Structure 1
């Protein structure tokens, strides 16, 4: 006799669900951690999701089993690979070495005076008005200016990069994604040709010269510059926006930070944990693997749910509350293992500097109007942050 009893519907996470919101995402993560820490989704070619902190961390640090060579999007948005994030050793190390002049802790420290000057100029541009839109006037332009300053690019290039990044955010999940990437890569290839013809004392000239030993093609370098630039300013903008929103909603915390400025770095880490800018990254299995009783096959895609890991109550107590002096705080907002975000030091510097300048110039700022969170389909379905933040003081 057939079994007609209703089957249990197990929760799963769909990054391209049109109804996704920060609240819904975190509610889904909580369900997954409790009931289905390794879940399966049928859409987008099929994929697994890993939700608990220990499992996400272990997978992120095991590149031999959880390979990055399958790409950073689900489903893929391009036939191209984006170094170094889409590469495993030994190729990965060569590309990381190429970008080391931009991404080391020492490089971030040398940028501190420039970052401070940019933040002060942006904030001073609106202090006299008594109100501002902090996403458009600070959180977005600050990291964009910083990264183009690192490249020694002019204002016209800054606008070019801003334009293609915003376009890609909107269309990464659709059919226009590959066309945008191809167009952007042609832009970078043109800059490489210019630097070979007219070398300067800048990063791009150093890049094409250093690449003589590595031997990457211009297309590979262009894909690297696309992902480095896009991720380097948009993820920082999301993190900064989330931090400024929290402060705008908590004047008591603003005052505490003014009284105890040494708490600013730990507060930033806590916001990055609680409001993780990039919620997930995919891997591809190189071998059959069993986790929590789920049999996953070689070649299958796996989403590492970093935002879920960062709310795991087994590691962070209380997990759903912001504790600005939380210690220790081993969050995974920047990933883990060999693919830990190379721009981590610079991103933290930018957010810290912006917070310091805002607290100095407009203490007591508060939300004044409708806050707009990111569209859930931005950036291929993983970017959840703040896009509009009107404040007054």
Structure 2
């Protein structure tokens, strides 16, 4: 954070002081004083903080393009499909991953997801204590990814390993080295599947890319697999751990969900709104535009503060409270427009299954030790959530 001599508070995604508490205080200042603020670092950017503006920008991909990359500054010379692409390429990449991301695909996985949750809970239920991030929130989405892609256990370990390395280095130059090594990893796997095809998603991906006319090179597909596996498990883990922390701190909410299980879904949506796992995403202007009285020029970057939008009092009554039966709840935790997270249905199902089974098997769990949050620079300054959650019951 810092002061722009003319504009007041400035959002800096790589500020080492941007703890969750400081971030939300800054967002409130921005919304009330300078909802479209200017930052000069990293080549310059505009930060958009109000719900209506964030949603409008996210829904207008023609003016606010995603082709400028998902990181500020860039962590790779290549783009990550489909998130860094606009139509028609974006649509083609979404079709490639459709077998993984449809609501039907998520529903078909529910029995396996619940079985995994219970296998994980089996590992600590008799102990009377657990660290719910490493013992549940992280291994659950990793197992789901392994099942989706038809991978082996060693690949699961590799995915978490390179994700941790990237989370640590995404705000610095080392992030590029991590990306390059990860891409080589996936390219080698593509080559193996061509030589030794299997009945799995990776084999199907390589074939569909060649047969359906997209014709993306292996490096492009490798960047896609990186972002799908990295974001596909870590953001879900953050959403789940944030939800579990809220429940561990509020026994009354736990009991209400046990008494009224239909409220589990709305509770999850509300915690996702209140503690948004991924706080911002950038766009690049394709034409001059005016927003909240600010004149922005073609080519400039615009950072959408989704977490700020989700606390906007103009969009949500009592925005700084968790209201578990909030309806409607049009939060933007999964984005908006064509770039709404493709894994939304699966992520919400994983979180719901985990919460329901935890409430059934270890009711009354509560915090028992120091809760650790993400480092402000983790994941390129975008990930804010829980990294350690010790509980007892």
Match of 1:146 in 2: 144
SS in 2 for 1:44: helix
Mapped to 2, the partners of 1:188 and 1:113 lie a distance apart of 29
Partners in 1 of 2:275 and 2:207 — Cα distance?
39
Q: Is it true that 1:194 corresponds to 2:198 in the alignment?
A: no
How do residues 44-193 of structure 1 correspond to structure 2 at under 5 angstroms? 44-193=42-191
| CA drift at 1:168 | 0.3
Q: d(CA) in 2 for partners of 1:124 and 1:240?
A: 18
Name the SS of the counterpart of 2:317 in structure 1.
coil
Give the conservation status (yes or no) of the 8 Å contact 2:7–2:38.
Answer: no
Aligned position for 2:34: 36
SS in 1 for 2:284: strand
How many Å separate the matches in 1 of 2:80 and 2:7? 36
Q: CA RMSD in A?
A: 1.0
CA 1:103–1:278: 2 relative to 1, 3 Å:
same
- 1:8 CA displacement: 5.3
CA distance in 2, matches of 1:281, 1:9: 22
Mean CA deviation greater in 191-200 or 52-61: 191-200
Aligned length, in residue pairs: 388
- Report deviation, 1:290: 1.1
Q: Give the whole-Å Cα distance in 2 for the aligned partners of 1:33 and 1:59.
A: 16
| Displacement after TM superposition at 1:7 (Å) | 5.9
1:277-312 CA deviation, whole Å, 9 max, x = no partner? 000000000011111121111000000000000000
> What TM-score results when the alignment is normalised by the length of structure 1?
0.98
In 1, Cα distance between the equivalents of 2:7 and 2:344?
Answer: 39
- Residue 239 (structure 2) aligns with: 239
**Could you tell me how far apart the structure 2 residues matched to 1:317 and 1:9 are?**
28
Find the aligned partners of 2:85 and 2:292 in 1 and give their Cα distance.
Answer: 27
Q: Secondary structure at the match of 1:170?
A: helix
Q: Distance in 2 between matches of 1:345 and 1:7?
A: 44
Partner-residue secondary structure (3-state), 1:11: strand
Conservation of the 8 A alpha-carbon contact between 2:276 and 2:307: yes
- Partner residue, 2:204: 206
Q: CA deviation at 1:33?
A: 0.5
CA distance in 1, matches of 2:259, 2:116: 25
Specify every segment of 5 or more residues in structure 1 that has no aligned partner in the other structure, as ranges. Answer: 1-5
Alpha-carbon separation, structure 1, partners of 2:7 and 2:199 = 59
Unaligned runs of 5+ in 2: none
Q: 1:44 to 1:362 in 2, by over 3 A?
A: same
Matched, 1:372 2:393: no
Aligned-partner SS, 1:85: coil
Aligned position for 1:3:
none
Cα displacement (A) at 1:11: 1.0
Change (3 A) 1:7 1:69: closer
Distance 2:347 2:195 in 1: 32
Q: In 1, distance between residues paired with 2:215 and 2:6?
A: 53
Q: For residue 263 of structure 1, what is the aligned residue in structure 2?
A: 263
Q: Given that residues 114 and 353 in structure 2 are in contact (C-alpha distance below 8 angstroms), is that contact kept between their aligned partners in structure 1?
A: yes
- Deviation of 1:9 (Å): 5.4
Q: Distance in 1 between matches of 2:59 and 2:86?
A: 12
Please tell me whether the aligned partners of residues 65 and 283 of structure 2 are also in contact (alpha carbons under 8 angstroms).
Answer: yes
Q: Distance in 1 between matches of 2:156 and 2:228?
A: 14
In the aligned structure 1, how far is the partner of 2:290 from the partner of 2:155? Answer: 48
The question of whether the paired residues in 1 share the 8 Å contact of 2:117 and 2:136 is answered with yes
Spell out the pairing of 1:291-330 with structure 2 (5 A cutoff): 291-330=291-330
